[in-house]
Structure formats: structure tokens, C-alpha cells
């Protein structure tokens, strides 16, 4: 069992931008020192809450300050970019990091980004993403001349090619044949599970959905992998959870019971995106009223794993029993309202919880001895 971070990232909108960037950097630097295996950073263009507009630029600032942690885009919203730009920038980062890169892609889920770019139809964004990634892979795999015809991009290079001087050639990734590709699954019975299984991509189960929804993901992945003749190894499955290890149960109860605490703010923001007209109509309502409208209390009661190391371990054991084997536990990062608490939680998770949870998972994986 490996341990990683998944950060959208998500911060209070009133917090200064530079402060949020420094806190996100500090979290990844601490994760590297504690032995976390990977850190995923999201991409959004039109949100003061999810402020990182380029995970590649942000993560590039950490390459030389870290030892072994791998960097993931969680995700690059592919329809909002030109495929040649994606291929070139990803190849650059993969070389700068000497292969410590995980290529997370998605269709773009933030409604304001979709409106800004004019990509209103989620189904069309999904088609654009798959078409774009096919172009990216062919650019990396092949050599010019290139020509790609599709409804969204007219891409060609034929005459302006002079290999002797490197003209017309696109940068190739450091990893051979390319960085591992990943997609997030954000609902029950997610179609992305089948896409990942069929194409051999990394499946990531989102942290903001109930565990019963997460339990639907692996069977769909495994079925698609089998149809494609690919192995279905659960060690590739990343499962993200909203998780906080506290010093006491009382501290955990105070955090979970605060109507404007970190968990309530997190789910209130996410759920408001689905119901913006209703939320905008009562924009100045107190947190409690918005929580009731958006069923935030239900989400906080069901989804986060919060408590002492023993409580968190027990919850993770129950999660493993419910959803089956997986390879990496990703911690959904929250705003560092209490930096000391968040640092201590990351440390307790790595030093107190993970070793016992890994031992439990390893025991389950061993074949039963014959009498």
C-alpha cells in the first residue's frame, strides 16, 4: 500500500493567492520527506477556490526540491488546450523531472471553465478529450509529416520539416513510450472506469463521493481490461479519500461538527457548483442555510475519514473490505486553516496509520495455507 496526495487544490476564496501556493508547495515538500509516493495537482482557470491554473508550472517549482515523489496532473482539462500544446508541455515536464511524471487527463468539470471556453456539452468534452489524447500519443509515437482531421482541431505539418536541423520535430517524453496516463472517476458506475480498463490507464476514484460509489469502479475497470486482453492489477488503482488524523476524538468531533469547518466548506463549495442558480439566489445566506440546501451535513457524516490514528485505521480497514484491493491511498487535501493540524495529520498517517494498514492489506493478499 502506497500513500499519496490529491489536491484540487481547494482554498478559502479570501485567502491570498501567494499564501495558498506556498501552503500547497509545503504540503508536497512534507509529503516527499515523509515518503509519500505521489502528489496530484488540479487545473482550473476561473475559480478563486481552485486557483492553480497550470499544474505543470506549479509542480515544476518542486522538481529540484524533492527527492523521489512523483508528480501527477489531477487533471489537465484537455478540451481547453490545443493537443500540440499538451504534447509539448507534458514532454518538457517529463524530461525536467526525469520521468517522475503521471499524466492525469480529464474533460473539464468546472462549469465556469466550460462557459469561458465555450465547451458547454459534457459529452462533447469527453469526445474532445479522447480525440486529443489520441493525437498526443501519435505525435509522441510517430514522426512528421503529421495530419489529423477532426471536428475540433486542424493539425498538420508537412512542408516545414527539416530533420537535419530538428525543424518540424516535436519533443518526446522521457518515459518510454510515454508517461502513465490516468483519469478520475467521480460518480458511481463511472464510464471513465471502462475507458481506463480498456486503454490500460490508471484509474483514480475521487475523494468526494461515497465509498459505495467507489465500490462500483473496479469491477467496471476489470471487465473492460479483460475484454481488451489486458491484466487487471488492482495495484494500479488509486483511491482518494477526505482524511484527517487528529490528536483526539473530541478534536475530530469539533471539526466535523463545525458548520463552516474545513469539511463543510469543502462539500458546500463542490455541491454549489451543481446548483449555482439556487445558490446565487441566496448568496448571502449563512453557512447553515446553504448546508441544508446542499445536503452538506449528509456528505460530511458519510464521506470524510476523521479521527485518531486508531479510528482512521479502523475506517480504512472497513473501506478495504467494502471496495476490495487497491494500490495507493490518496489523501484529498483541504485548506490549511490550521497548518499545525494538517502537518501533524500527514505525519501520523505516514508513521502510525499506513504501516498497520499496509500490514493488514498484505495479510489479505496472502493465499491461505493448506492444512
Single out the residue of 334, 301, 331, 296 nearest to residue 316, CA to CA.
Answer: 331
Residues facing residue 307 across a β-bridge: 245
Q: Is the pLDDT of residue 329 over 80?
A: yes
CA of 370: how far to CAs of 43, 50, 172, 367, in Å? 51, 53, 51, 9
Reported as type and span, the H/E element at residue 129 is helix 122-141
Summarize the confidence of residues 292-301 as an average pLDDT.
Answer: 97
Q: Please report the pLDDT score of residue 366 as a whole number.
A: 75
Give the Cα separation of 338 and 351 in Å (integer).
20
Give CA–CA dist 131/181, Å, rounded. Answer: 14
CB distance 285 to 179 below 8 Å: no
DSSP letter for each residue of 12-32:
-TTS-HHHHHHHHHHHHHHHH
Q: What is the pLDDT of residue 156?
A: 96
The mean of the pLDDT values for the chain is 96
Question: CA nearest 261: which of 225, 296, 223?
Answer: 296
| Predicted pLDDT of residue 367 | 65
Residue 226 has pLDDT above 50, yes or no: yes
Query: Residue 62 phi/psi, 5° resolution?
Result: -105, -10
DSSP output for 191-206? HHHHHHHHHTPEEEE-
Across residues 85-98, what is the average pLDDT? 98
Per-residue buried b or exposed e for 196-222, using 16+ beta carbons within 10 Å of the residue's own CB: bbbbebbbbbbbbbebebbebbbebbb
The structural domains of the chain, ordered by start, are 2-242+306-340+350-364 (3.20.20.30), 248-305 (no CATH)
The pLDDT value given to residue 283: 85
C-alpha cell at 164: 537535419
Mean pLDDT over 239-250 rounds to: 98
Backbone angles phi, psi at 5, to 5 degrees: -115, 145
10 Å CB burial of residue 324 (0-12, 13-18, 19+) is middle
Is residue 262's pLDDT more than 80? yes
pLDDT digits 0-9 by tens, 149-204: 999 999 999 999 999 999 999 999 999 999 999 999 999 999 999 999 999 999 99
Angle, vertex CA 335, rays to CA 60 and CA 108, nearest 5:
60
Q: Which of 8-12, 189-193, 299-303 has the lowest mean pLDDT?
A: 8-12
Looking at per-residue pLDDT, the higher value among 40 and 9 belongs to: 40
Amino acid at each position: 500500500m502506497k500513500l499519496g496526495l490529491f489536491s484540487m487544490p481547494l482554498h478559502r476564496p479570501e485567502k491570498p493567492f501567494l499564501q495558498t501556493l506556498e501552503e500547497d508547495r509545503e504540503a508536497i515538500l512534507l509529503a516527499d520527506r515523509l515518503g509519500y509516493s505521489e502528489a496530484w495537482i488540479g487545473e482550473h482557470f476561473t475559480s478563486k477556490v481552485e486557483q492553480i491554473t497550470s499544474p505543470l508550472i506549479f509542480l515544476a517549482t518542486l522538481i529540484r526540491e524533492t527527492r523521489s515523489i512523483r508528480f501527477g496532473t489531477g487533471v489537465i482539462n484537455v478540451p481547453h488546450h490545443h493537443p500540440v500544446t499538451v504534447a509539448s508541455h507534458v514532454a518538457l515536464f517529463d524530461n525536467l523531472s526525469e520521468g517522475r511524471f503521471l499524466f492525469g487527463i480529464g474533460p473539464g468539470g468546472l462549469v465556469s471553465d466550460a462557459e469561458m471556453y465555450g465547451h458547454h456539452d459534457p459529452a462533447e468534452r469527453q469526445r474532445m478529450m479522447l480525440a486529443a489524447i489520441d493525437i498526443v500519443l501519435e505525435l509522441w509515437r510517430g514522426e512528421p509529416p503529421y495530419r489529423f482531421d477532426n471536428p475540433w482541431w486542424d493539425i498538420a505539418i508537412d512542408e516545414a520539416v527539416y530533420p537535419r536541423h530538428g525543424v518540424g520535430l516535436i519533443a518526446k517524453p522521457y518515459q518510454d513510450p510515454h508517461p502513465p496516463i490516468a483519469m478520475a472517476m467521480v460518480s458511481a458506475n463511472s464510464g471513465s472506469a471502462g475507458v481506463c480498463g480498456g486503454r490500460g490507464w490508471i484509474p483514480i476514484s475521487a475523494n468526494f463521493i461515497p465509498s459505495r460509489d467507489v465500490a462500483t469502479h473496479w469491477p467496471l475497470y476489470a471487465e473492460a481490461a479483460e475484454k481488451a486482453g489486458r491484466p487487471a492489477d488492482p495495484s494500479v488503482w488509486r483511491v482518494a479519500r477526505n482524511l484527517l488524523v487528529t490528536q483526539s476524538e473530541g478534536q475530530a468531533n469539533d471539526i466535523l461538527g463545525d458548520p463552516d469547518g474545513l469539511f463543510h466548506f469543502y462539500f458546500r463549495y463542490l455541491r454549489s457548483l451543481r446548483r449555482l442558480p439556487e445558490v446565487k439566489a441566496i448568496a448571502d445566506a449563512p453557512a447553515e442555510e446553504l448546508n441544508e440546501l446542499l445536503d452538506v451535513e449528509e456528505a460530511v457524516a458519510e464521506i470524510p475519514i476523521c479521527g485518531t490514528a486508531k479510528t482512521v485505521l479502523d475506517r480504512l480497514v472497513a473501506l478495504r473490505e467494502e471496495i476490495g484491493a487497491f494500490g495507493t491511498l490518496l489523501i484529498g487535501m483541504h485548506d490549511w486553516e490550521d497548518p499545525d493540524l494538517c502537518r501533524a495529520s500527514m505525519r501520523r498517517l505516514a508513521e502510525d496509520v499506513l504501516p498497520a494498514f499496509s500490514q493488514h492489506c498484505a495479510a489479505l493478499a496472502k493465499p491461505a495455507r493448506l492444512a
